[in-house]
Structures are given as C-alpha cells and as structure tokens.
Chain A
Amino acid sequence: MSSKQLNMVQAINSTLDYALSKNDSVVLLGEDIGRDGGVFRVTEGLQAKYGSDRVIDTPLVELGIVGMSIGMALNGMKPIPEIQFQDFIFTAFDQLVNQAAKLRYRSGGQFNVPMILRTPYGGGIKGGLYHSQSGEAYFAHTAGLTVISPSNPYDAKGLLMSALEYEDPIIFLEPKKLYRSTKVDVPDEEYKVPIGKASIVREGNDLTIVTYGSMVPVVSGTVEKNKIDAEIIDLRTIMPYDGEAILQSVKKTGRAMIVHEAPRTLGMGAEISAFLAERAIDYLMGPILRVTGPDTPFPYRLEDYYLPNERKIMKAIGKLMEFR
C-alpha cells in the first residue's frame, strides 16, 4: 500500500485532482483558484490540467459563486466552490441558508444540492478581523447544512472523499493554520473518513476534551507535554456532531471540557455542554468547562492572546481536576 508524506494543502489538492479526473460533472469555482491556484495554493495546477471551464476563475462575488454552485448542483453537477476566506462568506449567507439548506425540504425531496463549499477558516496566520473568523456555529445552526472540519491531512482527504458522494450541501471548513503545519502519511489509494463520526485522538481516563480543527494539535500537545490522562475527541464533523462518541467518553471519564477558537457564547461548546447536561449529569463529577476564543472580534496584534493555548487549557484542566 503506497502512501506519501503530505501536508493538508497537498492532501486536499490531490483529492480534488482525483475528483476532477473521475467525474466530468465535478467543477471547482472561486476567486483566483485557477490561474493563481488559490491564495493558499490549494487548487494549484488544476486549471492547467482540467481547463478553465472546470476550474473556474470567477468574478469577485461570493453570493454569485455560491448561488451558481447551487444551480449547478441542482442540475446534475458536483460543484466544489471555494470562498477565499470564511470571513467573506456573509454576502452568500442568504444563498446558503435560504436556498442550499432548504431546497430538499421545500421540494419534499425532489431537489437536492450536492455541493461541497470549501473555505479556509480560523486564526493563527496574523489575519486580523477579516482573515481569522471561525463561523462554524452560524452554519451548524442551519437545518440542512452539514459542517465538517478536518484537523490533519489524512482526515482532510478521507472526509473530502466522503463528501464527494454526499448528496446534501457541505460547508468544508479548512483550518488554515494547519494547511502546512505538519505532514503525515496519506495513502495514495481511495479511502473514506465517515461524515458524522468523531475520532478518539487519544484515549484517557481522567477527563474528556472535545475539540476540532486547529485546536486538535494544541490540545494534544498540551496533554502530552503535561502528561494529562485525558481522552481527546476530534469531532471532524461539527454538524451533525457525534453525540454518542462524546457521551461514551464522558461516562467513562466523568469530566468534560470543550475547546474551540470561536467565541464562547452560543458556540459549539455551548451545544455540547447542553447535550451533556441533558444526558450525562449522573456521570459528571464537576462542571462542563469551555476554553474558547472570547466574545470579541478577532484581534490582529493580540492573536496569540485571543486563541486558546496551553496556559488556558491547563488552567481549565486544573480547575476541573479539583472535582472528585
């Protein structure tokens, strides 16, 4: 079984290449994705290989990119639009919420939108207010959308492979901080990581830490360095999240914590906390804690102070471990 050492950009690029080669109805579209290969080079080389009709450089109009993709998806194509930064998606929010998410429902299942919207999200690249946002909760709150975020190159390929066969609209959030941070062995062959299933990154007994995206390596690093016997759950799919995996783990450890970059109030941490409060209260030794970005816009110069880090995570772990 052959494999290659790939970073996340390479893993996604090779999977898009595979998708374009296998199916003529797959098209990529977005700003600067063709001639330029995308501002993060995720689509590099693909226009030269498949032509400008299938790797489409679009005018600068997010709602048009998304709306056009929906129209393609309704007509037998498999569009994979890219929004250059998730921060720029909001003019297309109407299209996502009122068209993509609702077409299956409002047509009684006669129409569906098999679109994979890829977009880099999150901080860690000194992007300030408008190149750093983590908007997953906006999308997760919309019935009809499926929200995915890989935390490593292996999952990025496997989740994208599953997404290619998925028949509903997907928001594929790529943690840009992790685009080139590590290389792992990625098999050359086809494989899938199932949508809706979390992965247990590390088994442990003292507490459960639920996280996803760019926070997975931060949490793992913290736990390893400080020799904490924590079980780490990488959601991989944010909506629908893997409630069963979280519940089983918390029943075992008796302590629960959620870590994400996005602001705390009404973020995924709030949802998971409520989920556990409803059904794991008998197993919990202490409060369900959240380590998240604060409820402020994302600051440029103070980025490192904004993001959850070892210090903040250890502080919360210390607090949680006091409950016995």
Chain B
Amino acid sequence: MTEVFNGQEEKDVFMRAYSSMLLSRMFDKKIVTAQRQGRVGFYTPTIGQEATQVGVSMALNPDDLVYEYYRDVPFMIHRGVPVEVLLDQIMGNSEDSAKGRQMPSHYNAKAQNFMSVQSPVATNLPLAVGAAYAIKHRKENKVVVTTFGDGSTSTPDFHAALNLASVYDLPVIFLCENNQWAISLPVEKQTKVEIWKKAEAYGAYGVKVDGNDFVETFKVAKDAVDRARSGKGPVLIEAVSYRIGPHSTSDDPSKYRSEGITEGSEKDPIVIAEKRLKDLGYITDEIIDKMKSEAKRIVDQKFDEREKIPPPKPESMYDDVYKEMTWIIKEEKGDAL
C-alpha cells in the first residue's frame, strides 16, 4: 500500500478502520441481544459486511455524499457518526432527530453527509444520481456513493439509476454489498449474471472485489472514487461478503439456508483484518483483546445511557409533514390532544 500511504499514516488509517469494524461488530451483537431481551423492537444486523463498508468509507472525503440503505452501521461509524445517534434512532427516543418516526435501522446522519434511510430497496439509487447531477451542475469536486444489497439489483430503480448516471457521466459509485442473501433468496436465484458485469450494459465501469477484506475493498474503492471524481462517470462495485446474521431480528435463516461463513471463522472480515494487521506488525493479540473489551464497554455504557431517554411527545407526530402545518393536520392534532 506504499503507493497510497507512508508507513505511519498507513498504520493510523488501518487501525482506525479496524477499530470502526470492531465497534460496529460489538454494536451489532449488543443490539441483537437487546432485541432478544425486549429492549429494542427490531434490527437489521450488519455482521459480515464490516470490511466492505469500511473499505469504501476509507476511500472517501468527508464532504462526499452517501445514499445508504438500512444495513450500513460500519460505514456510519467509520465516517464518524456517534454511536449515540444510532442508538437514539434504534430506540426511537426524544433525542432521535427523526423523533422516533422510523423503525430501527433507518438512521439520519446529515452531519456526516448521509441521506436519511428508507425501507423500499434501491429507491435511494435514483436520488444519488440526482445528487450527483447537482454536484456536477455546481462543479463541486465531490462523489456520491449509494449502497444496496444483491436483491436490489433486480429492481427497476437499479437499472434506471445506473443508466441515468452513465448517460450524464455522473460521479456516482454504486456499491452493491453482495451478502449473497436477499432475506431467503440466494444471489444465484436473484440473477443469472454476475452483478459487476451489469455495468457494461450501461457503459459504466464494473468491478468485483472480496468484500470480506477491507484492504482489497479499499484499493478498489480508491480507484473507483478517483475515476468518478475525475469525470470518467459512474462505477459499479460488487463487494462480495456474506450475511453472517439474519436479514433482521424477525427472521430465522435456519429455515432456508445451511450455515455459510460463521463469526470467527477465517472468512470473517474481522478475522481477516486482524491477520493483516498482525502480519504488518501493527497489532498483537493483547492489543486486540484490549480493543475488543473497550469497544464492548463503550457500547454497553452508551446503550444504558440512551435507554433512559424518554420517548418523543405525542404532539410531535404532526410536525414535519409539510413546512407549514396544513389546516387539516392542525385539526387532526387538535382533535387528538
């Protein structure tokens, strides 16, 4: 990696990447456990996709825009979204910037240039194209990354967005986080063609990468971002990882698949990262253990702290539908309170 970083710089960047992956993993485990305990309503675990997201995040500038989906916690943590912001959203408490309106995993992190998260898959992709059009119109030196799973590649929005971004030569990175499962449908039943190859049909640049390895993903993402930023048009990255967890806490994968990559196995992105960092001499088992317990401590502490925050006030339900509350909503609010 000497072509990108000098020695100390690389160590700092890689250690920050690992630290984000670890914090995200601990966060995931905590929320899944809390859901089982009835302390959280729902969650879409990110476990297995940490390297994909952190690898891409490493290639971005802070003012680049991200139009993400509902399984991007590592991405958010790496770009500096405070754990508190994620927890407030998941709990839907009165500190949540969206006032508890969305089910868990639908974050708002505008300060770190993330778009508000939707449920309907791939509907964020055309928005990312419009955002890139605005960037190009104003001659800003930014790129837009938009993320989605393998299932999203079957939607009309995916094809529309890729086509439009190519037609207008826009700086969009389409990051397909291919975790190989769309709830119960395996990727080979989703599409007959490798996802990265679909780029060619639109005149975009397509590339596939091992999304379990944050260094490989970073390299590919860096190249993609450089391409897009220099005006060469959109890139479709297929980052292949594995959804180690269920689709959501409401789902039992044992009904439809046998076990693939498991936590702690050699393909686990955290395990791969640790091996790399040990080989580079940046880290030891002792440091790893210390970092893990520190990440766990942070998550536990913040969780307990945020859990004490009260829910939003009922009257807040009527706000933010329009800039000015309509007479109709005013009346409905008056009738209810």
Distance between A30 CB and nearest chain B CB, rounded to angstroms? 13
Chain A interface size band reads 35 or more
Contact at A108–B130, with CB atoms within 8 Å? no
Residue of B nearest to A111 (CB): B116
| Residues of chain B with a CB closer than 8 A to A282's CB | none
The reply to whether B102 and A106 form a contact with Cβ atoms under 8 Å apart is yes
The residues of A that contact B127 with a CB separation of less than 8 Å are: 67-68, 70-71, 74, 99
- Contact in complex: B126, A71 (CB < 8 Å): yes
- A59 in contact with B164 (CB, 8 Å): yes
Q: Does A104 contact B (CB under 8 A)?
A: yes
Given contact pairs A64-B163, A111-B116, A95 touches B323 in the complex (Cβ within 8 A): no
> Which interface class (under 10, 10 to 19, 20 to 34, 35 or more) fits B?
35 or more
A99 B123 Cβ-Cβ under 8 A? yes
Bound Cα distance from A306 to B321, whole angstroms: 36
Q: Known pairs A74-B131, A76-B134, A111-B116. 9 more at Cβ < 8 A? A: A61-B156, A61-B163, A64-B126, A64-B164, A67-B127, A68-B164, A99-B118, A99-B123, A108-B108
- Mark A residues whose CB is within 8 Å of B: 25, 27, 53, 58-59, 61, 63-64, 66-77, 79, 91, 94-95, 98-99, 102-112, 143-144, 146, 167-168, 196, 240, 243-244
Residues of B with Cβ closer than 8 Å to A? 65, 67, 96-99, 101-102, 106, 108, 110, 115-116, 118-120, 123-135, 137-138, 156-157, 160-161, 163-164, 167, 319-323, 326-329
The answer to whether A70 touches B115 (Cβ under 8 A) is no
Q: How far is the CA of A146 from the CA of B324 in the complex (A)?
A: 12
A244 contacts across to B, CB distance below 8 A: 327
Q: Are B130 and A67 in contact (CB under 8 A)?
A: yes
State the CA gap A68–B167 with chains docked (Å). Answer: 13
Neighbouring A residues of B124 by C-beta, 8 Å: 99
Most chain B beta-carbon neighbours within 10 Å: one of A53, A77, A91, A107: A107
Q: How far is the CA of A154 from the CA of B292 in the complex (A)?
A: 68
Q: Given A63-B156, A70-B130, A110-B116, A104–B97 Cβ distance below 8 Å? A: no
- B97 contact set on A, CB distance < 8 A: 107-108, 110
Q: Given A67-B129, A112-B323, is A61 in contact with B116 using a C-beta cutoff of 8 Å?
A: no
Contact for B123 among A72, A94, A108, A243, CB less than 8 A: A94
Is A59 in contact with B135, judged by CB distance below 8 angstroms? no
Cβ-neighbour of A111 out of B110, B128, B161, B328 (below 8 A): B110
Which B residues are in CB contact (< 8 Å) with A64?
Answer: 126, 129, 160-161, 163-164
* Residues A71 and B321 in contact, CB atoms below 8 Å apart: no
A104 to B90, CA, bound (A): 19
Cβ–Cβ < 8 Å partners of B135 in chain A: 75
Whether the Cβ atoms of A63 and B126 lie closer than 8 Å is yes
Report whether A107 and B108 are in contact in the complex, using a CB–CB cutoff of 8 Å.
yes
Q: A75-B135, A108-B108 are in contact. Are A68 and B130 (CB under 8 A)?
A: yes
CB-nearest residue of chain A to B146: A71
Q: Are A95 and B116 in contact (CB under 8 A)?
A: no
CB–CB A111/B106 < 8 A: no
Contacts of A68 in B (CB 8 A): 126-127, 129-130, 133, 164
Cross-chain pairs A/B with CB under 8 angstroms, 10 sampled = A64-B126, A71-B129, A77-B133, A94-B120, A95-B157, A108-B101, A108-B320, A112-B323, A167-B323, A196-B326
Contact status A98-B123, CB under 8 Å: yes
What residues on B are CB-neighbors of A167 within 8 Å?
Answer: 323
Q: Say which residue of B96, B118, B130, B319 sits within 8 Å of A75 (CB atoms).
A: B130
Q: Which of B131, B160, B319, B328 contacts A109 (CB 8 A)?
A: B319
Smallest CB separation, A233 vs chain B (Å):
16
Name the distance in Å between A70's Cβ and chain B's nearest Cβ. Answer: 5
B321 A105 Cβ-Cβ under 8 A:
yes
